[in-house]
Amino acid sequence: MQSANMSVQTSRWAGLSAWSIISYSFSTIRQVLTNGYAIIPFVYTGWQTGFNSPWLIIAIVGAILAVFAYATVQWAMFRYRLYEDKLGVRHGLIFKKANELPLSKIQNVRLEQPLYFRPMGLYSLVVETAGSKEDEAVLAAVNYERAIAIKQHLVGERAKTQQKVGSPFTEAKNQPAQGAILDSALESVQEQTQEQTLVTKGVKDLLLFGLYQNNLFWFSIIAGPILSQLDWSDIADTQLAQSSLQWYNQAASSSLLYQVLIITLLIIGFYLLLSLISMTAAVLKYYPYHLGLNSKTLHRTGGVIAKQNDALALHRVQVTRFSQTLIGRLLKLWTLHFKQVQGTEIEQKAKKHMLIPSMSRAQISELMPQIDESGTKPQQLPTYYNPIHFGWYWRRALLPLLIPLINTIGLGLNPMTEVMWAVGLALSLAIYLRYRQWGYRLIENTCWIHNGVLGQSWYQVPLIKVQHVAITQTSGQRKRGTATLELGLASGTQTIPYMPVEDAREIAERTLVITSKDPNNWI
């Protein structure tokens, strides 16, 4: 009788709260802004010349109405249904789409609380599956208790909740389409286990993370055209500019050491100024950072503006990356990235994986045994690696110098060919630095791969999770006794070029022996 009742209840579709229209509206606006960053310089240029046309106001009002109408349609057409073994989702007006997500294939389930949902105490529940490059389902405007109950049902774990359980689930029970399933999730929450705290990060750690992870690439794309519109002659005529130039002529113009020192300080100051954006973003996104372990599942919480609650089963981590930027090497701080099945990164919007910021070697050594799920029993980061063969560099180093050499022979040495030589030498140096940092180590059942240029990265590859192995040799590699080893995982392929063929065969044979006797599904 109970199973029949369950069947009736789960045969109905449920909709989202009308508050989700807000989420759909902001999501649409964010997509437009994300894909339209390139028009920022043109908008700025047009603003400088003056937007006096009344059509501008009409266009803005029309865009707002269009976004609101589109969000309303998305909300009205979205339906979801919970089964015992899968989640059903359907949406779309003209092109209707229906998805059925098996619970066994769900990779991550995370809770997010954007700023506009905080006054109402609502959350967005994001569901991701293996092999998808986008979020499979987003259940917006769900209250906390209901979101936790759905999450328990989807991931099959006992997550820790900070709120009392009982009466808050009344809303979930009043919806017959989902009530019976959420009742079982409630029992799971009531029997929750104690979560083990692994890592916590305060404001100082996150500020340092923002400092050494500062990325100037996008700033240069946006700021370059804007700076080109400034009237630098007027800026040079200002009293501040004249005073600075006069001070420079008096204090530093006669000393090369002072000039180098001042230029260095200016570069450092400019970097720190731009880093303020990155540092502020790191605090707003992650503070207070908390990483816990419960039922062999990692839980990351944090966020000032948009609160986040991410879950990642340890057995689904394919590769762990330990990275250091150039500034990070000076600060002796690492960032850990848990690489999952390709296309299902938790931090999808940032094109990154679930990460742990600002970790020292000692902290990594303390953490690694606690997050080992594959049986590799890693204890600490390696301190050295076996380098690849010099032939890798030799085959690539001459190519950047070939173009300036040909132009110099044909045109002679002139300012243009001198610039070509400078660029060619810089590229050749970068290739050399990459060669110097590319290496590997085999420690028990784990292959460690090291690479980098100015920064460095270690990739921890558990051989038990490798899905395919390939050894290739070119004619030149055969003469040198080297080969290229490819280790294919669900998160992507890890490659070691120009390594001794004996080492490649040893890693490949050990991988095949380990994986042939392992029945686990690591995806």
Segments making up each domain of the chain, as ranges? 2-192, 203-286, 317-388+438-516, 391-436
Question: Per the structure block, which two tokens stand in for 470?
Answer: 């390939």
Retrieve residue 390's tokens.
């010099």
Q: Which pLDDT does position 163 carry in this prediction?
A: 36
Instruction: Give the Cα separation of 369 and 442 in Å (integer).
Output: 18
Q: Which amino acid is at 388?
A: I
At residue 277, the pLDDT reads 81
What are the average pLDDT values for consecutive 10-residue runs of the chain, which has 523 residues? 38 80 82 60 55 68 85 86 83 77 77 83 81 70 85 61 36 45 48 75 93 67 56 71 74 71 80 81 90 87 84 85 93 92 53 80 91 71 93 89 88 86 92 95 93 94 91 91 93 93 94 81 62
Instruction: State how far the alpha carbon of 22 is from the alpha carbons of 28, 73, 127, in Å.
Output: 10, 12, 19
Query: Which 8-state DSSP code applies to residue 389?
Result: P
Task: Count CB-CB contacts under 10 A for residue 260.
Answer: 11
* Tokens read off for 135: 């979020």
User: Which tokens in the block code for residue 386?
Assistant: 């076996």
Q: Note the maximum CA span of the chain.
A: 95
- Two tokens at 89? 């989702």
pLDDT at 166 (0 to 100): 37
| Backbone dihedral angles phi then psi of residue 36, each to the nearest 5 degrees | -115, 20
Cα-flanking dihedrals φ and ψ of residue 40, to 5°? -60, -45
